[in-house]
Amino acid sequence: MSQQNADALDVERIRGEFPILEREFEGQRLVYLDNAATTQTPEVVVEAMSDYYRETNANVHRGIHQLSQEASICYEEAHDRVAEFVGASGGREELIFTKNTTESENLLAYAWGLRELGPGDEVVLTEMEHHASLVTWQQIAERTGATCRYIRITDDGRLDEEHARECITDETAIVSVVHVSNTLGTVNPVADLAALAHDHDALIFVDGAQAVPNRPVDVEAIDADFYAFSGHKMAGPTGIGCLYGKKHLLEDLDPFLYGGGMIRKVTFEESTWGDLPWKFEPGTPPIAEAVGLHAAVDYLEGIGMDRIREHEESLAAYAYERLDAEGDVDLYGPEPGPDRSGLVGFNLESVHAHDLASIMNDHAVAIRAGDHCTQPLHDRLGVAASARASFYIYNTREEVDALVEAIDSARQLFA
């Protein structure tokens, strides 16, 4: 690890780059701990998008005039930069811009799943999958006659790897697995699962929405066939997501959506498709958002992804320790360590998660409450909902203390 990555973050300097963190509610400074849902956006990203609108705003790949040429270059360079960020050596041809991770998963499920799946085929998921994956493959399986199987989790919130070896067989067509659980914080062994899938001639799709923002990700080292993530969870703008795919696999897929910008030739009788990645990006794409995502990637790499991971995990470990010491807080997922990321799911005994989040809000502490789009996982845990505190580069130990103090207020209110 480089010395830069080994050094602690200068959190106070970083916080100064996020003006929203200065907001106060009834005299209380905002404590933003809902980063697994959406991170805040630094000034450099906002400025990059504003500069685009001020100076370059035009449609891409459509015009010969100067602005269109400049916008097209910005858009294409964003593909290359984000591909580089996740280790995709094929560049823009392996990196499709979508609206978000959910759309990326649907693109794959419709473009590949409807064509390739049939009776007797199995889609293997895990019990901790986000609805974006679970519901999508469930619906595709119903349409095609395929079957969904689910790898169990252990009582401490880890993936049951022995059960994974039982589930992934020669009948498996694709394995769909979340890299980091948005409810448990579990970091899954995705490279091992990829190797297991490939041993059975199956593909693997990885939902990286909770991984790419906070840890180094190399899709080629994982050997993922497909990998998806979202801009708004990694200091970037909303409205843009990414689907990485191995070039030879993407070349073999037909488009999921149709229209202008993704065609090569159209006649009244037939149409042919353009090159990668454009054949999967019909219509006017998220140009300004791509510019913003490019800036966000530069920003995160300037900090260092190892440092970001270490900072998040340190805060999560501190929060876990503080909450565990309370005695009446139920914690979900693995204990702090290499198998856990920077979020903590929990419940305060005798207080519904929604009530707890409301009281947190009275103290200007923003957390998440609900099923986090993982209803089957909550059924497995035996709870209707949970609270979640999730951390990012600008959070501090003092904010963890503020979380615990707000929980104490809720405890007294419901006593």
**Amino acid occupying residue 184:** L
The per-residue pLDDT for 62 is 84
Check if 373 is active-site: yes
The per-residue pLDDT for 4 is 42
Give the H or E element holding residue 125: strand 122-126
Question: Could you tell me where the DSSP H helices lie in 91-156?
Answer: 101-108, 114-116, 131-144
Catalytic residue among 74, 148, 242, 373: 373
Each of the 415 residues of the chain gets a pLDDT tens digit; together they read: 333 444 689 999 999 999 999 999 999 999 999 999 999 999 999 999 999 999 999 999 988 999 999 999 999 999 999 999 999 999 999 999 999 999 999 999 999 999 999 999 999 999 999 999 999 999 999 999 999 999 999 999 999 999 999 999 999 999 999 999 999 999 999 999 999 999 999 999 999 999 999 999 999 999 999 999 999 999 999 999 999 999 999 999 999 999 999 999 999 999 999 999 999 999 999 999 999 999 999 999 999 999 999 999 999 999 999 999 999 999 999 999 999 999 999 999 999 999 999 999 999 999 999 999 999 999 999 999 999 999 999 999 999 999 999 999 999 998 7
Q: Which tokens is 311 given? A: 């900072």
Question: Cα angle vertex 13, ends 8, 15, to 5°?
Answer: 100
The per-residue pLDDT for 8 is 83
Say which residue the tokens 């600008």 belong to: 394
Q: Which of these, 297, 366, 406, 315, lies nearest to 21 by C-alpha position? A: 366
The per-residue pLDDT for 190 is 98
Question: Cα angle vertex 286, ends 38, 241, to 5°?
Answer: 40
The per-residue pLDDT for 415 is 75
The per-residue pLDDT for 3 is 37
The per-residue pLDDT for 45 is 98
Compute how many other C-beta atoms are within 10 angstroms of the C-beta atom of residue 44.
15
Whether this prediction's pTM lies above 0.85 is answered by: yes
Walk me through the domains of the chain, giving residue ranges and CATH numbers. Answer: 3-38+304-413 (3.90.1150.10), 46-301 (3.40.640.10)
